[in-house]
Amino acid sequence: MAKLKSAFFCSNCGFESAKWQGKCPSCNEWNTFVEETVRKSTGSKTVLSKRTQQKPVRITDVEAKTHERGAISDSELNRVLGGGLVPGSMILVAGEPGIGKSTLMLQVAMRHQGGKVLYVSGEESSEQITHRARRLGGLNEECFIMTVTDPEAIINEANNLQPEFIVVDSAQTLNAEWLESSPGSISQIKESTASLMRFAKESGTSIFLIGHITKDGAIAGPKVLEHMVDTVIIFEGDQQHLFRLLRCTKNRFGSTNELGIYRMESSGLTVVDNPSELLLSGQTGNLSGSATAAIVEGIRPLMIEVQALVSSAVYGTPQRSATGFDVRRLHMLLAVLEKRCGFRLGAKDVFLNIAGGLKVNDPSIDLAVVAAVLSSSEDLTIPGDVCFSAEVGLSGEIRPVTRIEQRINEASKLGIKRIFISEHHRDIKKNLTDIEIIQVGKVQDVLRNMFG
């Protein structure tokens, strides 16, 4: 007979307690414990006890097998995963509602060649999935669809089908029958994910698990969910813009520095082969307030357009607004221009925008932001064949950034004639490209060279 018991779980980290506590002893968060009814099966305990009967062995006696990565039809997803799909790995794909997570995974399932694929959905019917697959470009005969939420049913059918990988949409809809709690609860997510994880490791079948995002931008469910899986991929972007970014925040089998870029179209997600050219396609070189920055997202160099608008403040308090850029860093750069360069921007409104809907955290964009703000303030045009790549310090010094040669090569491919970088970069091979490299040490040197 199954036994019923009530337990309290921390909604932040998943810590389990027999009684309610005001402060979680694991993550030190307050008022995060929720009560859930849990059913423990004596049969499952017996199975688990047998699995744990393993003796320790010397690490030198363990035969380490090298698993060959399986290539996926999606080149950007291959890049983010580190070169392909590792057998037996579990990948969590998270993102905001409507950003395109299910579309991405359905495209991967429909375009996969060389093996069977099992697509499991607890949110859509079979007819809805088939209709969406036809809209995305066609059906794959080797793709099988299930609309169940019980992880045991998924495992049983996967044992019979032997697919190359499984897509589960989504983690919040999984409902293990041996648990009394409702789908989406902490215990359901933990136990269901643990069951699928054990199956993936024992059978060598890779699993893509789609997850939701909360209003705060964190992955819904307990924090332990991110620790359980092998890889965590965040699918982000603005629904009002075409571009979608695929970032890897955790990867046990590869690097977390890769970035995938897609473009949302009516027929689905399209891989962007040359994002720099698209991001600069609408740039106009005869208007003030526009500057080009050479940044690096992951290990991929990108050329983006920074737009600034400086105008007299209509109201008493000047406005400071930034889209795609940290507004606190904008305040810092404006203070540097005020203190070190003598520009009076305290009584003016300053608006900043990163074209294309991207969110940039690379500090190398600082010099382009400064140039765009001063270009708009003085109504002076920056030529379209000039770009910037350097960090600005609090004393107005130009600081070096990483991978400068990759940035220079990317700028040269797009027809950039001059690039401003820090004078602290040493041993730069200037003869590799035709681009003119201008090394500066202070913000004043950039302004003197650009605006006289």
Percent of residues in the chain assigned helix, strand, coil, to nearest 5: 30, 30, 45
Residue 102 known to bind ligand:
yes
Residue 40 known to bind ligand:
no
Quick one: which of 355, 422, 419 has its CA closest to 383?
419
| DSSP string over 391-418 | EE-TTSBEEP-S-HHHHHHHHHHTT--E
Exposure of 87 in the CB half-sphere (CA atoms within 13 A)? 13
| DSSP string over 218-278 | SBSS-THHHHHSSEEEEEE--TTSSEEEEEEEEETTS-S--EEEEEEETTEEEE-S-HHHH
* 3 state SS of 206: strand
Residue 96 known to bind ligand:
yes
Give counts: helices (H), strands (E), the chain.
Answer: 12, 21
Residue 101 known to bind ligand:
yes
Residue 100 known to bind ligand:
yes
Q: Report the alpha-carbon distance of residue 21 to residue 7 in Å, rounded.
A: 11
Residue 98 known to bind ligand:
yes
* 3 state SS of 90: strand
Between CA 290 and CA 295, with CA 293 as vertex, the angle to 5 degrees is 155
Binding residues for ATP: 95-102
